[in-house]
Amino acid sequence: MPELRKDPIVDRWVIIADNRGKRPQDYALAPQRSSGRLCPFCEGNESETPGEVAAVRDPSSPRNGPGWKVRVVPNKYPAVLPDQGDPVGDGGVAWCDAQPGRGIHEVIIESPRHVTSLTQLSLEEICLVLRIYRQRFRELALRGDVSSTMLFKNMGAAAGASLEHIHSQLIALPTIPTLLAAELNGAAAYHEKWEACIFCDMRSWEQRLPRQVLLTERYTAWCPFASRFAYETWILPNRHASHWESISDEEIVDLASVLKRVLSAVEQAVRPPAYNVVFHSAPLTSPALPHYHWHIEVLPALARAAGFEWGSGYHINPVYPEQAARELRETLQNPHQNEVKAIRQTEAKGERLPMP
Amino acid sequence: MPELRKDPIVDRWVIIADNRGKRPQDYALAPQRSSGRLCPFCEGNESETPGEVAAVRDPSSPRNGPGWKVRVVPNKYPAVLPDQGDPVGDGGVAWCDAQPGRGIHEVIIESPRHVTSLTQLSLEEICLVLRIYRQRFRELALRGDVSSTMLFKNMGAAAGASLEHIHSQLIALPTIPTLLAAELNGAAAYHEKWEACIFCDMRSWEQRLPRQVLLTERYTAWCPFASRFAYETWILPNRHASHWESISDEEIVDLASVLKRVLSAVEQAVRPPAYNVVFHSAPLTSPALPHYHWHIEVLPALARAAGFEWGSGYHINPVYPEQAARELRETLQNPHQNEVKAIRQTEAKGERLPMP
């Protein structure tokens, strides 16, 4: 049964989740499951996953059968579970702080086809994926028993993926994780001092700096000043908004194009492609915040943390962000103007599946 | 040129070190250099590395030639450099805190033979390695321009090693890295409250708990309560000491045996073997501290940080430390009593190489 444990000395939390596998060897870095074997995420194999909690599908298709575009299912090997009793812990030892491993762990299966990257999806398909992300955040916010949601994609074995079929995961917790709490604190301190959102200020500053990767009407992407990883890239909406789930349908179409362009450029720079995509958003339960700004972090997995990083807490990045941004800009695709236009026309006509 | 950069929002430092390679692809996870190719660390290939800064070698052998047992050389692709000017940074942007990437980055080549693990060395050879670690700490402490030293070993490609020939690295910095600072603060707070060293208290507590792996006259090893990684194991001296470099010759012989036994057990549990070994020690420049306790952390690399971990700051560990300790205990070798005895006899007779 999962359990959260805090290190007795430093502010570091661990989720001990033995239900993620009888044998940890199942999670070794290398064994990307080959597409020749039964893929539990392919259309037709719906019985291989737990029953779906949401889907975009043809209204005439049966639940947990074929006929879908995007499917959301509980993770078969969850890191947290909704109903968890008291933790085992150490019972009575002062420094052993343990909490139940309570929460929601879901998998978003992003295509019925056996593709591996968001860049292999059409813009319209990416829009469906982003809409279902938004829908999950909105539904989870209504539950009342979770405070935060981490939405993330592990792409490629080197980035921690165990299945190659395109998917993302979300883990919703009753707590605010350490890093989100640190971001909220840092951003609040800046706001107190300067009466401004640090992300908005960074965005307007980066638009004039060589770390910028892309600038559209609605989004800015850049390699951050203190990038932890080579080719690390952040995507921010130009409009201030603390909550990802406040995104509009219009904004989703543009984000689909920006995300596809950024990921395509990262996949040129990082070969074989391996990266994490992480959505950073204010707590589900908080009101709109003037100091926090939702954003997406793309974190390539070229060289990853080793002894020095785990020992010091410092990262080592072998590529200057200014250099990374230059390389990414050089391989950037054109905006998907025709596709965007086509999606807007279809939307105007209302000729679509029931949409999340 | 290397540069330290701080994230504008959270307390997170990065060393940007573009001299670690023209192309970051050189540092991809997979390409373990095969032993068939020229190995720059093998005896006879000394010219492939920068000139040695220390060595255990036959007094008649030439510096930077064959005839050595352990060699210390500057890292050819250093993360930090001794003489670094002012950082590029962003010049004048308030939130962009940058410092020069100043420091020492050395490689300890731990055998003239092409072996890959400390468990393949004799106890006597491990003693030489530990003695040269101690010597490096003592010499660096005399420099005055560095405050802390991270000593670490990356074993196996999945744990971040780029060369398989047995080696460790040390990075000495003018600053106290984030995690060491957090440990010092946490330990000082505990000491203030309880007038005791938290590590000493943990050690005596763990000796009665199922997380203990090994207990000898001088050392205790256990899987910590909030282990970040499956089979994570810490080794602590029973005698309170804040500085690794205060270890005695006697204590080194016992540590060699404990380290070999623990690493052998970890290599049974983690296949193929991949782990980091990190020495945690008080700042070089601080006096002996009543609240800090040097220790060694063995961090296996089965499943490593991915999107969730990088986004939340939480770790997920699929093996309960209590279960990990039980498995490690079952494969533990006997103490190397005869080898220990033989080394003590040789030492008593003084029949050895000039020793560090």
Q: A316 and B202 in contact by Cβ < 8 A?
A: no
Decide if A5 contacts B226 (C-beta within 8 A). yes
Please give, rounded to a whole number of angstroms, the shortest distance from the CA of A275 to a CA of chain B.
8
Between CA A302 and CA B27 the distance in angstroms is 6
Give the count of Cβ contacts less than 8 A between chain A and B: 288
State the pLDDT at residue A245.
97
pTM: 0.93
**Which site among B312, B315, B319, B323 would you substitute to test the A interface, given the most A Cβ atoms closer than 10 Å to its Cβ?**
B312
A219 falls within a domain: yes
The answer to whether B261 touches B269, Cβ cutoff 8 Å, is no
The structure tokens 């005895």 sit at B341
What is the chain B residue with the closest CA to A176? Answer: B312
pLDDT given at position A305: 87
Q: pLDDT of B60-108, one tens digit each? A: 999 999 999 999 999 998 999 988 777 766 655 666 788 889 999 999 9
Q: Which residue of A has its CA nearest to B181?
A: A312
Closest residue on chain A to B80 (Cα): A316
Percent share of chain B, pLDDT over 70: 92
Quick one: pLDDT band at residue B25, thresholds 50, 70, 90?
very low
Query: Out of A20, A150, A323, whose CB is closest to B312?
Result: A150
**Residue B118's pLDDT band (boundaries 50, 70, 90)?**
very high
How high is the pLDDT of residue A28? 42
Residue of A nearest to B9 (CA): A186
For chain A positions 315-334, those within 8 Å of chain B (CB to CB) are 315-321, 323
Query: How high does pLDDT run on average in chain B?
Result: 90
Question: Which pairs count as long-range contacts for A119-126, CB under 8 Å and 24+ apart, including other chains?
Answer: A119/A260, A119/A263, A119/A264, A119/A267, A120/A166, A121/A166, A121/A260, A122/A339, A123/A253, A123/A256, A123/A257, A123/A260, A123/A336, A123/A339, A123/A340, A123/A343, A124/A339, A124/A342, A124/A343, A124/A346, A125/A69, A126/A256, A126/A259, A126/A260
- Domain holding B272, by residue range, is 66-82+102-349
CB contact under 8 A, A311 and B21: no
Q: Hey, is the C-beta of A197 within 8 angstroms of any chain B C-beta? A: no
CATH code at position A197: 3.30.428.10
Residue B323's region, left for phi above 0, alpha for psi from -120 to 50, else beta, is alpha
The structural domain count of chain B equals: 1
Residue A226 to residue B28, Cβ atoms within 8 A? no
Q: Which residue has the higher pLDDT, A144 or B121?
A: B121
With a cut of 70, say whether residue B27 has pLDDT above it: no
Compute the nearest-CA separation of A208 from chain B (Å). 12
Task: State the pLDDT at residue B304.
Answer: 74
Q: What's the confidence (pLDDT) of residue A22?
A: 45
Sole residue written with tokens 């070229």 = A302
| pLDDT tens digits, B199-251 | 999 999 888 888 999 999 999 999 999 999 999 999 999 999 999 999 999 99
Would you please indicate which residues of B are annotated as catalytic (active-site) residues? 167
In a domain, residue B336? The reply is: yes
Q: Do B10 and A182 touch (CB under 8 A)?
A: yes
At A37 the pLDDT is: 63
Task: Answer whether A178 sits within 8 Å of B297, measured CB to CB.
Answer: no
Residue A233 domain-assigned (yes or no) = yes
Asked if residue A115 is part of any domain, the answer here is: no
Who among B5, B186, B231 is closest to A10 (CB)? B186
* Gap between the Cα atoms of B199 and B222, Å rounded: 12
Q: Under a CB-based contact definition with an 8 Å cutoff, are residues A155 and A273 in contact?
A: yes
Summarize pLDDT for B167-209 with one digit per residue, the tens. 999 999 999 999 999 999 999 999 999 999 999 999 998 888 8
Residue B30: the pLDDT is 40
Q: Does residue A96 lie in a domain region?
A: no
> Cα dist. A14→A6, A43, A147 in Å?
6, 35, 18
Name which of B6, B29, B184 to mutate to probe chain A: the one with the most chain A Cβ atoms within 10 A of its Cβ.
Answer: B29
H helix runs in chain B, sequence order:
123-143, 178-194, 198-206, 249-269, 307-312, 321-330, 337-349
Which parts of chain A sit beneath pLDDT 50?
22-35
Whether residue B227 lies within 8 A of chain A, CB to CB, comes out as yes
Residue A16 lies inside a defined structural domain of this protein = no
pLDDT confidence of residue B24: 38
A45 domain-assigned: no
- Taking 50 as the threshold, does the pLDDT of residue B23 lie above it? no
B288 located within any domain = yes
pLDDT above 70 (res B26):
no
